[in-house]
Amino acid sequence: AQKVTQAQTEISVVEKEDVTLDCVYETRDTTYYLFWYKQPPSGELVFLIRRNSFDEQNEISGRYSWNFQKSTSSFNFTITASQVVDSAVYFCALSPLYSTLTFGKGTMLLVSP
């Protein structure tokens, strides 16, 4: 069975602070994908990024970066110089080949001006 743990239920930061959202996963499968989704206050869920189990390169996209480490089964998400528009619930998800997709319970990020 697989599991995704987002231990941080809520995080509050002040604008321009850097913040890291943690995601730890468990799976016995060797082929899998990891995802991050964003749910802003308006409610819709939006796909942010995907990473496969064979590619441990970190990725940077503007203020966002993702650190995938198989050794610690983690796929953490960092926002640099946070902005109010980053306020949202962020979900990490694990999708192993031949198994069901599993979401973490989400981390609510509140960025104050």
Which residues form the interface with other proteins (CB under 8 A)? 9, 31-33, 35, 37, 43-47, 50, 52, 91, 95-101, 103-106
> Taking a C-beta distance cutoff of 8 angstroms, is the pair 93, 2 a contact?
no
Smallest Cα–Cα separation from 109: which of 35, 14, 23, 36? 14
How far is the C-alpha of 56 from the C-alpha of 54, rounded, in Å? 6
Q: Which is nearer to other proteins, 47 or 60 (CB)?
A: 47
- Min dist CB 47 to other proteins, Å, is 4
> Tokens 């983690």 sit at which residue?
74
Q: Which is nearer to other proteins, 44 or 113 (CB)?
A: 44
- Min dist CB 88 to other proteins, Å, is 13
